[in-house]
Amino acid sequence: STTVEPFRLAIIGSGPAGFYTAYRFMKNNEHAKVDMYESLPVPYGLVRFGVAPDHAEVKNCREKFEEVAASPDFTFIGNVTVGASSDHPDGATVPLSSILRHYHAVVFSYGSSEDRKLGIPGEELKGVFSAREFVGWYNGLPEYADLNPDLSLGAHGDTLIIGNGNVAMDVARILLKSPEELARTDIAAHALDALSKSKTHNIRIIGRRGPIQAAFTTKELRALYKLPGVEVRPYELEHPTAYDALPPPIKRRTELLSKGSSLPPNPSNPYPSVTFDFCLSPLEFDHKPEQPSSTPPNWVTSATFGKTVLQNPNQHHPSTDYETNNHREYYNQKATARLPPQPKTVTFNTRYVFKSIGYKSTPLPEFSLLGIPFNTSTGVIPNDGIGRVLTKLHRPHQLPSSSHPAHHQPHIELPHHFKGLYCSGWVKRGPQGVIAETMMDAFTTADAITEDLTKREKFLPEGEWGQDGKGWEAVKAEALKGNSNARVVSWEDWKAIDRAEIERGQKAGTGKEREKFVRREDMLAVLGD
């Protein structure tokens, strides 16, 4: 009898995109083998390092991922970074070229590992944090284990959160939630300690666009209202007349915003508060030494914002009559915000600024060498909207949108794509969307691989990148040779780390779900040699 070589798929990244791609692909291709590479010793990407500790129910997707990992056709390869020249002192690194040689197809689902920058003066001052580092720190991401933010400086003005998405709401909620409640979650111990000394009691959440265009959901807004003893100040709409014309979900959110939370008056001991500001864009952060000084050197003391104007993105020559523009676009959900040449400005006293303006993906170090394109302006791997990686950058309007698969749009000619290269998740669509959207997106990619597999013609061509389908065993022999420091973490190993974390949580005695290891070496120490 002849044995048929199994189809071997490499997936780079173990977040929701990687796992849902694996799940869907394995479900439809019984004999296929999937190897998943993950640079950290622990799986799940932003489910572990992004999702807020008090959103335990969101993390239930881990159960599905565990099922995937239990399959004999699945191999987890943790503590191994894909990309030759990345700075990765503790774990192992394997070059992408080696992976391309030994798989039939490769899926990039490595997410977004950088922050967007504002690019304004003072951004490097102490006390100015990116949401990515702050969230990473409270969730125990090894990269930020030493962030050590001092949240205990006395109250000087408000704590500012710049950005208007659900991540901004997470940051606000974690800053205001009681330490007793946080102590029951999987928040990192160092964060619980710092937060219990925090003086960040009055928070401003500041968006560039208006209340109608805000990106956060009503659900996350409600979660702020539910914080006991926290006052959400009512936001007064500037143009309340067209209110009823709003689509119901936006109307509900706007109603909630304008109502505020009604707590009994308490003038002697004011409540911690949340205030919403809209149509403000940050211009600069400043440090002014004071006498006597209670603020460390190079620590932010104020932030200045410019008043933005709303405009219709489809209007090529918007009028410079800003007042009229603002009024007209106030209820246009698609309106964008722009700083006029001489904006009105406002300055807030502050000691803490959290920039929650988005994550950013970057190309793997070998992309340019291997001729794989990356769109640095949108921060995504150029793809056909379905998940196939394109051979060169194409302008977005040439691409079919993901909601209409290409074969339903016969008049759009598909650009060339790489045989055997796919992408899914945030590195495919950009850093936005909840896990459910990432899942749908990963399914689309997995189905494209299945479709191409049935045609059998579109995989890494022999010769060029030399597919031999030998997978991890061959990559290991080739790339990890002589690298004795590299402790590769298997799924069994991860389960040992997982158990140790849950046990540490139990020892805390507060009903703590788990106590994460926040350093790579401590994760690996559980495994011995």
Which residues of the chain form contacts with ligand FAD (CB under 6 A)?
12-18, 37-40, 45-47, 50-51, 55, 58, 81-83, 109-111, 113, 135, 167, 170, 359, 364, 425-426, 433-435, 438
Minimum distance of ligand FAD from residue 327's CB (angstroms)? 34
Residues 86, 365 contacting (CB under 8 angstroms):
yes
Instruction: Name which of 167 and 187 has its Cβ closer to ligand FAD.
Output: 167
The DSSP secondary structure of 162-212, one letter per residue, reads: E--SHHHHHHHHHHHS-HHHHTTTT--HHHHHHHHT----EEEEE-SS-TT
Q: Residue 440: helix, strand or coil by DSSP? A: helix
For 216, half-sphere exposure in the C-beta direction (CA atoms, 13 angstrom radius) is 31
- Residue 415 DSSP label: P
Q: Residue 498: helix, strand or coil by DSSP? A: helix
Residues 512, 521 contacting (CB under 8 angstroms):
no
**CA proximity to 52, closest of 114, 134, 113:** 134
Instruction: Name which of 100 and 309 has its Cβ closer to ligand FAD.
Output: 100
Instruction: Name which of 138 and 322 has its Cβ closer to ligand FAD.
Output: 138
The DSSP secondary structure of 238-290, one letter per residue, reads: S-GGGGGGS-HHHHHHHHHHHH---PPP-TTSPPPEEEEE-SEEEEEEE----
Instruction: Name which of 185 and 311 has its Cβ closer to ligand FAD.
Output: 185
How are beta strands 202-206 and 159-162 bridged, if at all?
parallel
Instruction: Name which of 109 and 202 has its Cβ closer to ligand FAD.
Output: 109
Q: How far is CA 83 from the centre of its chain?
A: 20
Instruction: Name which of 14 and 295 has its Cβ closer to ligand FAD.
Output: 14
**CA proximity to 25, closest of 103, 112, 92:** 103
Maximum pairwise Cα distance, the chain = 87
- Residue 2 DSSP label: P
Instruction: Name which of 50 and 207 has its Cβ closer to ligand FAD.
Output: 50
Minimum distance of ligand FAD from residue 413's CB (angstroms)? 28
Instruction: Name which of 157 and 433 has its Cβ closer to ligand FAD.
Output: 433
By beta-carbon distance, which residue lies closest to ligand FAD? 15
Q: Which residues pair with 321 in a beta bridge?
A: none
Instruction: Name which of 217 and 312 has its Cβ closer to ligand FAD.
Output: 217
Instruction: Name which of 237 and 364 has its Cβ closer to ligand FAD.
Output: 364
Minimum distance of ligand FAD from residue 94's CB (angstroms)? 9
Structure tokens at 493: 């190993």
Structure tokens at 366: 């070998």
Angle at 214 between CA 400 and CA 140, to 5 degrees: 90
Cα 322 to Cα 153: distance, rounded to the nearest angstrom: 39
How are beta strands 417-423 and 231-232 bridged, if at all?
unpaired
Instruction: Name which of 18 and 343 has its Cβ closer to ligand FAD.
Output: 18
Residue type, position 211, single letter: P
Instruction: Name which of 139 and 467 has its Cβ closer to ligand FAD.
Output: 139
Minimum distance of ligand FAD from residue 381's CB (angstroms)? 11
Q: Which helix (H) or strand (E) holds 477?
A: helix 472-479
Instruction: Name which of 18 and 282 has its Cβ closer to ligand FAD.
Output: 18
Minimum distance of ligand FAD from residue 334's CB (angstroms)? 22
Q: Which helix (H) or strand (E) holds 443?
A: helix 435-455
Minimum distance of ligand FAD from residue 429's CB (angstroms)? 8
Minimum distance of ligand FAD from residue 313's CB (angstroms)? 25
Q: What are phi and psi of 273, to 5 degrees?
A: -140, 160
Minimum distance of ligand FAD from residue 516's CB (angstroms)? 14
Minimum distance of ligand FAD from residue 184's CB (angstroms)? 17
Instruction: Name which of 42 and 237 has its Cβ closer to ligand FAD.
Output: 42
Cα 17 to Cα 341: distance, rounded to the nearest angstrom: 41
Minimum distance of ligand FAD from residue 174's CB (angstroms)? 10
Minimum distance of ligand FAD from residue 10's CB (angstroms)? 10
**Sheet holding 417-423: strands in order across?**
74-78, 33-38, 8-12, 105-108, 417-423, 388-390
Minimum distance of ligand FAD from residue 136's CB (angstroms)? 9
Residues 6+ apart with CB under 8 A from 477: none
Minimum distance of ligand FAD from residue 186's CB (angstroms)? 14
Minimum distance of ligand FAD from residue 434's CB (angstroms)? 3
Count of C-beta atoms within a 10 Å radius of residue 338? 16
Angle at 117 between CA 205 and CA 45, to 5 degrees: 85
